[in-house]
Structures are given as structure tokens and as C-alpha cells.
Amino acid sequence: MPYAGLGESKHKGVGSMMLRHVALACSSEENSDKFYKNLLGLKKSEPKTLPPSLSKTLFDLDSDLKIFNYRSEHLHFEIFITNRNNCCVRGVEHVCLEVSNLAVFLEKCRRLQIKVVQVSRKDKQITFVSDDDGNLFEIKS
């Protein structure tokens, strides 16, 4: 059964598809909690550890990787805690989230000192926030 709000896609040749989770990297559990738990209000799981052998095979990283899952009924982020410098080199990659009340969300961002960038374009406002590790989120309402 698809997660409500994430949608399901019918793709010729592979059947139904749905987004199950988004995996991102953060430099610390503290940064991770600040954004995913404190700002987004997601429930945090107990940590899991990916052993070096699997980490090397999957991600070419030869070390233990601690993983936290942050979830709600409609969202699931899998956050890898990595000690690498510049764990999140930012490009155009981002996650788009929809919130029911943009003003309340932005006030919470300001209280938590989360960086907010808003740009007016034509007749609408484009809003992005980023966590302390540079992961970028487009916010729509």
C-alpha cells in the first residue's frame, strides 16, 4: 500500500512504483535531530550500524556508518551519520516538502536558526531551507 501523499506511479515495464524513503548524510546526530526531529517533528528510530564491508560495497566508504530513520505517516528519511568533511557538497539536489502552514513552519525555522532562502519569482514565492549539513529542502504550501 503506498504512503498517503507520496503517490504511486505506474511505469510501463516495471509495474507500480512509490517513494519509500530519502537517504541523506549529516555530520552529527545533533544536526540530524535538530532538523528532522525538532523542525519536521518526525519520530526518530534507534540507531542501526552499517558495517564497513557493506558500507564499502554500497558506498565506497570503508567505515562503520550509523543510520537513523526519522518517520511520520507520510515521510521517511534515512540519515547516515558521516564524519567526512563536507559530507554534503551541495548542488541542485534537493527534497521538496509540502507544509500546511508556511508561516508557522518559517517561524519554527527562525526559532531553531535554520537557514531560510526566499525568492520572489513572477507571482509566487520560492522557499528553500537547509539543514546544518547543507542538505537542501524546497518548501511548498
Domains located in the chain, CATH noted: 8-140 (3.10.180.10)
DSSP string of 47-75?
PEEE-HHHHHHHHS--S-EEEEEEE-SS-
Residue 94 to residues 11, 16, 69, Cα–Cα distance (Å): 23, 24, 18
C-alpha cell at 116: 531560510
Please report the pLDDT score of residue 85 as a whole number.
58
Average pLDDT, the chain: 84
Sign of the alpha-carbon dihedral angle for 118, 119, 120, 125:
negative
For residue 84, pLDDT beyond 80: no
- Give kind and range of the element (H or E) at residue 96: strand 95-98
Please say if the pLDDT value at position 3 is more than 50: no
Name 95's Cβ contacts closer than 8 Å, sequence gap at least 6. 22, 24, 135, 136, 137, 138
CA–CA dist 130, 2 (Å, integer):
27
- The structure's pTM equals 0.76
Q: What is the percent of the chain with per-residue pLDDT over 90, rounded to a whole number? A: 50
